[in-house]
Chain A
Amino acid sequence: MYLLAPTVLRIAPEALPAQVRARFGSELRRSGAFAHLCMLGAQACLDAAGEDGPLAVLWSSRLGALHASRAALDESLQRGEPAMPFTFIGMQPHLAGALLAQRAHPVTRSAHLHLADEDWPLLLFMAQGWLAECKRVLVGRVEESASGGVAHRSDWCLLRKKPLAGAIRLEPAPDQEGGTTATAEDWIARVAAWAAGSKAPLLLRGGKDAWRFALGK
């Protein structure tokens, strides 16, 4: 399995609306901050990867669409107003797949997961399974800022089955010792930093799993 375009976005909450307008104009109607973050990161990653074809999208977060969930309960139910479309049955975290498809990306599979910090390596096993049926899997981690002064996070990378010039090869390393413990929040950023500098392979751990990243075929 090969990894392309590790992309790390940190966006100040107050800067998000302007960035969304600049990148997508008014296309992202009826979606909230979480979906906007997903789209900014996913689109930046796809732009950097620069290739096309059927796409699966697998992204995780710890809390999901925090603000949209609170708003749905607080503003709708508590005031006795009808719940509006897109604010219930977990639509906000799930919207990114459909929004990407609406922007002409051929999405064939998509899922958003709430995943614990240490379980990030499982996303790579899931993607490996999906790559049996799909050429590319876009993998992301998105977290809305829960408090002022903390940036929103939207980190993405593109996985593919076949090698490509400049792609990072990755494989499970169950028996390998050493390495660095990473979390769901920082593993893509670690891969991006490593890819920008070092030539030696990178071993990242999470839970009971380890994955090895190396440059070249």
Chain B
Amino acid sequence: MTEAFVRATALASALGPDLDTAVERLSGSPLAPARNTTAGGAWPYFEIPVAGDDWMKRAEAVARAVAGSLRREAALAPDEWAALPCIIGSSSHSVGAWDRGGWAALVPPLEFSRMLAQSFGARGPAMLVNTACTSGLSAFDIAVSLVASGRFRDVLVLGVELSNRLTVAGFAGLELLSATAARPCDRARDGLVLGEAFAALIVSAAPGPWRIAALASGMDAASLTGPAPGGEVIAGTMRSALAMARWTGAAVDLIKLQAGGGRLGDLAEARAIRELFAPPPKTVSLKGALGHTLGASGPAELALTLASLARGRVPATWGFAAPDDELGLKPSGGDAKGVSRVLFNLSGFGGNVMSLALEKSG
């Protein structure tokens, strides 16, 4: 099978319209999220700072801006860029268009994926992956499999999650949202904060800055809305990733956590990490800075992690202040010197658990 690399990354998020701005912001003091009142509450919510009353036009504007950043970094020839297949991960598709425009504004998922691919100028096959919160990383997984099979050299992956009432109402209904802030791994954590993100990556057979050493996946079917409390499947999935990458636990320099500030989810992941790593390596969570961007969270957090490391920084974990002894994790930012092997965890509703092993190449 062909090896695969992350060739280029781009991101629009609450931290700013591009990765340079996001990394710079992340080295400063925490950003206060906006308030989302669309579902009848006033939930903290991380919005992409792009205005627009028309949901679809705003989505296209964000897409075009992200496409520009990605295209500059990927440096593909025009014909290579135009031939890109586009695999999109999203949990909510264009459902936000329904909020103001009703049924007439809602487009079928495939049409939405073609519209986004078109905004990127990618004319290869377009498809949309739907695995709830892991949708974007599942799209990445599919891109890796298409590269590994030799069918494509380069594949465009998008993670797209834009504001909509249904998602906020759903999480509020499940009482999973914090009324104040996301505090990953913190003693006072009391729920998630949702956010928007539009991330783009190129997965390529051509050597790039990060080699994909392994992408392991598991299914935690104990409950469809959260991990088993012991974190067994999370531990098993990380163990598989290490085995596939032929790494020992001690070889991991950094773990990007799934942790978003939920009491049980963070605890399950911490238990899994403590089972495999003694002591745990450096850890980081990005959900205090981006919010939980659901279907976009894989590509969005991957783009931000790799961009920060490329600029010499392990990103800060906003929202973490007081360690929880039960978790035993103290996520923190700092100098990225010596960080060359990263384990990237993601899990979500419906039971998908994923662990991606990335190694700095060259």
A positions within 8 Å CB-CB of B: 30, 56, 60, 62-64, 69, 72-73, 76-77, 80, 82-91, 93-95, 97-99, 101-102, 107-116, 119, 122, 125-130, 132-133, 172, 207, 209
Contact = CB atoms under 8 A, between A and B. Distances in A.
B132 interface: yes
B110 A82 contact: no
8 contacts: A89-B295, A90-B131, A93-B130, A97-B131, A109-B217, A113-B127, A122-B127, A128-B145
B132 A94 contact: yes
B104 interface: no
A99 B219 CA distance: 10
B224 A115 contact: no
Interface residues of B, number: 56
B285 interface: no
Interface in B85-131: 85, 90-93, 95, 98, 106, 108-110, 113, 125-131
Contacts of A98: 219, 221, 224, 350-351
Contacts of B146: 122, 125-126, 129
A114 B116 CA distance: 14
B169 interface: yes
B125 A87 contact: no
A119 B117 CA distance: 15
B45 to A, nearest CB: 15
Contacts of A82: 169-170, 172-173
B1 A129 contact: yes
A142 B130 CA distance: 14
Given A113-B127, A129-B149, A132-B148, A73 B95 contact: yes
Contacts of B106: 73
Contacts of A62: 108, 110
B219 A97 contact: yes
A125 B145 contact: yes
Given A83-B166, A94-B350, A89 B92 contact: yes
| Residue from A76, A97, A108, A114 whose CB has the most chain B CB atoms within 10 Å | A114
Contacts of B135: 90
B130 A83 contact: no
Contact of A90 (B1, B40, B93): B93
Nearest to B112: A114
Contacts of A133: 216, 244
Interface residues of A: mostly helix, strand, loop or mixed? mixed
A114 B219 contact: no
B173 to A, nearest CB: 4
B107 to A, nearest CB: 11
Contact of B349 (A63, A84, A89, A113): A89
Contacts of A84: 170, 173
Contacts of B128: 113-114
Nearest to A97: B219
B348 to A, nearest CB: 8
B248 interface: no
B72 interface: no
Interface stretch (B12-20, B136-144, B305-313, B333-341): B136-144
B218 interface: yes
Given A63-B108, A73-B98, A111 B172 contact: no
B166 A88 contact: yes
Contacts of A95: 224, 350
A72 B167 CA distance: 11
B133 A89 contact: yes
Nearest to B173: A82
A80 B133 CA distance: 24
Given A89-B92, A129-B148, A77 B169 contact: yes
A27 B130 CA distance: 23
Nearest to B217: A109
B149 A91 contact: no
